[in-house]
Amino acid sequence: MRCFQSLLSTFLLDYLPRRRGFSGNTVASYRDSFSLLLRWLWEVEGVRPERVEIEDITPARVAAFTKWLSEERGCSPATCNARVAALRSFARFAQLEEPAHLEACSLILEIPTARTPVAPPDHLTPEAVSLVVAAAERHGPRQHAVVSLLYDSAARASELCSLRVGDVATGKPSSVVLRGKGRKTRVVPVSPQVGAIVDAYVRTCRKGAQPADPLFVNARGGPLGRAGVAYILRRAVESAHVLSPDRVPSRSHPHALRHSKAMHMLEDGVNIVYIRDFLGHESVTTTERYARASTKAKRKALESAESRLVPRSPYTESERSELLDWLASVV
């Protein structure tokens, strides 16, 4: 019978990256979950890592583990839920690889996750985005292209960093090829204005670059990283805030521009299914958070429903005034 250590090695080194095709970041997150669990079992429960068995991972111990994460490490409920999700994923794998552990794995799969409040997505108004883009333009063509494309394509920071020169079509129509979570690729349209901004950046700053070369590079000539994207956006936001403190917040982050694009598309009446595909979400339920958060979209829906339920009066404004005057005279 295969032991816990053997199953865990196969899970992290073969099942997640090779059989499931998970990205390195996802595998690292699962690995960190088990590193923390093994550390807790050793330091608190006195169970050495080489002696851990699947049967040691009981619901009671997992509850104590998540309490330790929350109280000792300051982890949020969402982070604790992610750690529990990693354990459940391992249990589903282990019960198929080694049926002898079926009962212990079934107990792990029954462990519930904590209910967490869904925070509204952090986003900027269209006016604030315009001011931030204008501030980025003053910092140079690379900064202008990064911020403009980050918003208009709703790309994740990691997706923007992985862009190659050949991934951007700046003609008519303009589009960009993004490589998202799970190594899935999607083609996203961008506005002609943003296409022209990126084209100007390539012609001035990436002259002679080959289609396979990184689109955005750092000062050392290497691919721009997520920290670099965050730094470029932070400078633009700070500059825009100094000029318009009442319209632009003092700080923001790259994912806020992704949220902003989704909210603005929704409020412009774009179908939520199209927004899901634009963002690269697996399910429309993930995209629904924008519909729940948008008061403008809710107001439009209510007004539309009201117009269907309460028909428009057949009388004009002057006719209604005359009708009321006549009624007043006969009453």
| Residue 116 located in a structural domain | no
d(CA 90, CA 109): 9
- Of 61, 83, 109, at which residue does a domain stop? 109
Entry pTM: 0.67
pLDDT at 69 over 70: yes
- For residue 259, CA distances in Å to 95, 245, 271 come to 39, 21, 16
| Residue 326 located in a structural domain | no
pLDDT at 9 over 90: yes
pLDDT at 242 over 60: yes
Q: Mark whether 218 and 78 lie in a shared domain.
A: no
Looking at every residue in the chain, the average pLDDT score rounds to 88
Q: Mark whether 132 and 281 lie in a shared domain.
A: yes
Residue-level pLDDT at 50:
93
Residue-level pLDDT at 13:
96
Q: Mark whether 104 and 232 lie in a shared domain.
A: no
Q: Are 151 and 261 in contact (CB under 8 A)?
A: yes
pLDDT at 315 over 60: no
pLDDT tens digits for 45-65?
999 999 999 999 999 999 999
pLDDT band for 290, please (50, 70, 90 cuts). Answer: confident
Residue-level pLDDT at 322:
65
pLDDT tens digits for 120-152?
678 999 999 999 999 999 999 999 999 999 999
| Residue 37 located in a structural domain | yes
* Domain enclosing residue 185, as ranges: 126-293
pLDDT band for 297, please (50, 70, 90 cuts). Answer: low
pLDDT tens digits for 148-170?
999 999 999 999 999 999 999 98
Q: Mark whether 85 and 154 lie in a shared domain.
A: no
Q: Mark whether 172 and 248 lie in a shared domain.
A: yes
Mean pLDDT for 214-219 is 94
d(CA 66, CA 197): 48
Q: Mark whether 286 and 138 lie in a shared domain.
A: yes
CB atoms inside a 10 Å sphere around CB 325: 9
Q: Mark whether 257 and 134 lie in a shared domain.
A: yes
Q: Mark whether 133 and 194 lie in a shared domain.
A: yes
β-bridge partners, 185: 179
pLDDT at 280 over 80: yes
pLDDT tens digits for 104-121?
999 999 998 877 666 667
d(CA 188, CA 279): 9
Q: Mark whether 288 and 146 lie in a shared domain.
A: yes
Min mean pLDDT across 138-147, 195-204, 276-285 is at 276-285
Can you give the CATH number for the domain in which 66 is found?
1.10.150
| Residue 246 located in a structural domain | yes
| Residue 237 located in a structural domain | yes
Q: Mark whether 73 and 25 lie in a shared domain.
A: yes
Residue-level pLDDT at 115:
76
Q: Mark whether 90 and 205 lie in a shared domain.
A: no
d(CA 82, CA 164): 32
| Residue 223 located in a structural domain | yes
Mean pLDDT for 223-232 is 95
Report the number of distinct structural domains present in the chain. 2
Can you give the CATH number for the domain in which 163 is found?
1.10.443.10
Residue-level pLDDT at 302:
46
